[in-house]
Amino acid sequence: MNDSGSAPLAKSLTLAAMSLGYGVVQLDVTIVNTALRSIGTSLGGGVSELQWIVSTYTIAFAALILTAGALGDRIGAKKVFMAGFAIFTGASLACALAPTAVLLIAARAAQGMGAAILVPNSLALLNHAYPDEKERGRAVGIWAAGASLALTAGPLAGGALIALVGWRSIFLVNLPIGLAGLWLTWRYASETPRSPHHSLDLGGQAAAIGALGCLAGAIIEGGTHGWSNPWVLAGFAAFTALAVAFVFQERRARQPMLPLSLFRHRLFALTSAIGLLVNVAFYGLIFVLSLYFQQINGLSPLATGLAFLPMMGAVLPANLLAARATERFGAPAIIAIGATMAAVGCMALLGTDRGTSYGSMCVQLVAIGAGLGLLVPPLTSTLLGSVEKKRSGIAAGVLNATRQTGSVLGVALFGAFVAKAGAFIFGTRESLMMCAILLLGAAVTIMVGGRSRN
């Protein structure tokens, strides 16, 4: 709308709009966890329904993010970004009004679709608004820092809103953010050049959604109904068939949504795998601990948000420390140190039981958050640096998709551990042990595999 897109005010307000878009996406990754008990009490259902409420969002986010970026390239990132913000805002209202768990799950899927559209196109608009490399670097830093703050504030903000107004308010808070972001984008962001020759890989997209949905569904329902249940087995079989179909489609597509050639780069493949492992561990653990604090130790949503504050609060300072540490010791070493620190924190929580005092858990939770904060910046920069600059956009999309896929699998898998009747504490310990194994596996992988570059 504004022809002076290069003016300082227009650029700053474009950055504000993009930060609101990415921030609200990250806010909804964590804010819902504090509402799990309240939602379950209000709408009914067990652990599997709560898993679907969390996972449906990340399934849509993970599966659609690559296609959303390609769509922005094709018809213009501004149009697509605004459509994504409108979808996300409308879906948030639908979540707040949902009368049943099934309708809430459906609205969460629409939210995830909006989130997938927002993230890659916000970066594309920032890239267009800030042609100078140094200015762009600062803008992306602000964009990322805002998202880290939203991720940190999510549990506390959710707990406070639930205590004051009720669980539906955690979705209503997205409405003013969405309206502000839409107006700022419409008024100040300038449209990106279109690439109509950029085709969409709809066959790969359909296979990706189906494969990820079937795998998450089979794991979630397996924890509730047993791993030999015919529907669970059918889910795993469908996942296998769809995964094979996805790989076949990506190999033959002229413009695949996931170029398999990227994985020929050793460090790209390694860092993608580590992103998956780390998110399985971290977001699966957040889900389980949210249920533990509320259902086992009887904490209120507000107290649960406060319980997560030291853990989430450790992420941002560790992010800031990571850059200097990486310059001095190298990315593989810092990634390994961060993963090991988080793994030690998980192992130190293995004695957790009913009534375990929060004071005896706090240091371990801080170690987990700090470990994650330490490893993510060098992981991201290593992945982006492992491919040609012209492919950095698709590489960033793959990293986001991989990490969101890890979030889906973590909630599904760890939720299955605690879903067994009367076995919540045992399942919590299983989750902690699995976290430690995955994180130590990530540390070993980067130290062994990261020694030699392509």
pLDDT digit string (tens) for the chain, length 454 residues: 444 444 778 888 888 888 888 888 888 877 888 888 889 888 887 788 888 898 899 888 888 888 887 788 788 888 999 999 999 999 999 999 999 999 999 999 999 999 999 888 887 887 778 777 677 767 777 777 777 778 777 888 888 899 888 999 999 999 999 999 999 999 888 887 777 676 778 888 899 889 988 988 888 888 777 888 899 899 999 999 999 999 999 888 888 878 888 888 888 888 889 989 999 999 899 889 988 998 888 888 888 888 888 888 888 788 778 878 888 888 889 999 999 999 999 999 999 898 889 889 999 999 999 998 888 888 877 877 777 766 666 777 788 788 888 888 898 889 888 877 568 899 899 999 999 999 999 999 998 887 654 4
Q: Which CATH class is domain 1-199?
A: mainly alpha
pLDDT of 133 reads 65
Res 4: pLDDT:
42
- Domain 261-454, what fold? Growth Hormone; Chain: A; (1.20.1250)
Q: What is the DSSP letter of 193?
A: P
Give the residue extent of every domain in the chain: 1-199, 201-256, 261-454
Q: What is the Cα 311 distance to its own chain's centre?
A: 17
**For position 454, what pLDDT does the model report?**
44
Q: What is the DSSP letter of 31?
A: G
Q: Where are the alpha helices (DSSP H) in 226-330?
A: 230-252, 266-291, 301-313, 315-329
Among 239, 260, 245, residue whose Cα is nearest residue 412: 239
- CA dist 310 to 218, 305, 364, Å? 34, 10, 10
In this prediction the pTM is 0.81
Distances (CA, A) of 7 to 1, 3, 181, 190, 215: 13, 9, 19, 11, 48
CB-based burial of residue 218 (10 Å sphere; 0-12 exposed, 13-18 middle, 19+ buried)?
buried
Distance CA 119, CA 71 (A): 13
What pLDDT score does 171 carry? 94
CB–CB of 14/130 below 8 Å? no
Which pLDDT belongs to residue 429? 93
Q: Kindly give, in sequence order, each residue whose CB lies less than 8 Å from that of residue 22, ignoring residues fewer than 6 positions away.
A: 118, 119, 122, 143, 144, 146, 147, 150
pLDDT at site 157? 85
* Cβ pair 401, 119 in contact under 8 A: no
**CA of 37: how far to CAs of 45, 103, 192, 290, 310, in Å?**
10, 17, 43, 9, 21
Half-sphere exposure of 60 (CA within 13 A, CB side): 25
The DSSP code sequence of 49-109 is HHHHHHHHHHHHHHHHHHHHHHHHHHH-HHHHHHHHHHHHHHHHHHHHH--SHHHHHHHHH
pLDDT at 393: 64
Same fold, 1-199 and 261-454: yes
How far is Cα 375 from Cα 279, in angstroms, rounded to an integer?
12
Contacts of residue 384, defined as CB under 8 A and 6 or more positions apart, other chains included, come to 392, 395, 396, 399
Amino acid at 88: F
Report the residue count for the chain. 454
